Structure 1
Amino acid sequence: MPSNVEIKATVSDPGKFAEKSSELSESEGAIIRQHDTFFNCSTGRLKLRDFMDGTGQLIFYERPDTDGPKLSRYSISPTNDPSTLRAVLSDALGVKGEVRKERRLFLIGQTRVHLDTVEGLGHYMELEVVMRPEQTVEEGQQVALNLMDQLGVSQESLVTGAYMDLILKECKET
């Protein structure tokens, strides 16, 4: 199963973060709209990512709900019919919730840097260090920590869990 080392954090100044990411990636980043539907499952997380263009991905992943760099293992299956797949999985498993976001993707070395505007939550960043077969988790964590420093991401801004968890928490508190 492929893996990456991930971190997620809040972003107080998305313009400044985008500027630093652009400098490091030497690109303006790619804008991607995503509608993620999370389904009930007994282990890990199962989501259908709809790219809002007739394509999508069914993604299963497992990772600990801790802040800081953490290992995530995942499986991805592409689909050209996300709406029908969503209906089937909704009937079979039930929907846990949905996340809508606009993502600006930057590639820096082996790391996918996301600047996300999440509907109902605000601005966040994610680092996904795509692990090479020969790399250890510790090496991936060090790549993430170094990039955090370069991007000005503080330990205090780190977030645990997935956007779905944050949305569900917001719903319980209101």
Structure 2
Amino acid sequence: MPRNVEIKVHVCDLDLVKQRIIDLKKSNSADNETVVLKQEDIFLNLPNDKAGKLKLRKIEGSPQELIYYDRTECPGPKLSSFYKCNVPEELENVLLNALGTWGVVKKHRTLIMVGQTRVHFDCVEGLGNFVELEVVLNENQTVEEGQTIAMNLMSHMGFTESDLLSVSYVDMLRQKDNQS
């Protein structure tokens, strides 16, 4: 099962943090490619005894993906195990009708790779601006090695552990809706 170590931080000035990563990339690599994605994640119901989340991810101009992931909702760099596959559009109706949905997250994401880390600069509809790090672990890497990489990048961007969020975007949106 693929694994990564993740962190998420709410930020006020997304451009400032993005520039810090671009500057880091310039000093360490000739590759300064950024990818801009328009994403919609539709969260599907799972049986009550099943941990984790199942989502159908739609990315403008790309095949749809079905992603199942499991991670502990806690502060700090956390391990996430996941499976994903491309799915044809016809399967969307089957999944939506068979399982039903419980949340939708729409976001504009800028992706910049820093070594083995996917750095996401997200503008999430209804929530604001965030940075997510996903340190993609190699098969032989420990969680602690991934956490060290995440902590070093966090420090470079000016974040501390107290800045880290413990919940997913979909859970934040549900909490916000429940408070309304």
Residue of structure 1 equivalent to 2:135: 129
Unaligned runs of 5+ in 1: none
Structure 1 CA distance for aligned equivalents of residues 113 and 40 of structure 2: 21
Amino acid at match of 1:79: V
Specify the SS of the correspondent of 2:106: strand
Pair 1:53-2:53 in alignment: no
Residue of structure 2 equivalent to 1:74: 82
How does the TM-score come out when normalised to structure 1?
Answer: 0.94
Residue from 155, 158, 168 that aligns with 1:152: 158
Q: How many residues align?
A: 172
Unaligned runs of 5+ in 2: 27-31
Specify the SS of the correspondent of 1:164: helix
Amino acid at match of 2:117: T
The RMSD of aligned alpha carbons is 1.2
- 1:108-123 aligned within 5 A: 108-123=114-129
Specify the SS of the correspondent of 1:19: helix
Amino acid at match of 1:56: Q
Structure 2 CA distance for aligned equivalents of residues 141 and 14 of structure 1: 22
Deviations 1:72-112 (A, max 9, x none): 0000101242xx33321111111011000000001001100
Residue of structure 2 equivalent to 1:87: 93
Structure 2 CA distance for aligned equivalents of residues 106 and 45 of structure 1: 25
Amino acid at match of 1:164: V
Specify the SS of the correspondent of 2:17: helix
Deviations 1:47-89 (A, max 9, x none): 01001225211000000000110100000101242xx333211
Residue of structure 1 equivalent to 2:173: 167
Deviations 1:120-162 (A, max 9, x none): 0000010000001111111111111111001112323211121
Amino acid at match of 1:157: D
Q: Judge conservation of contact 1:112–1:127 (CA < 8 Å) in 2.
A: yes
Q: Judge conservation of contact 2:37–2:60 (CA < 8 Å) in 1.
A: no
How does the TM-score come out when normalised to structure 2?
Answer: 0.91
Structure 2 CA distance for aligned equivalents of residues 106 and 54 of structure 1: 18
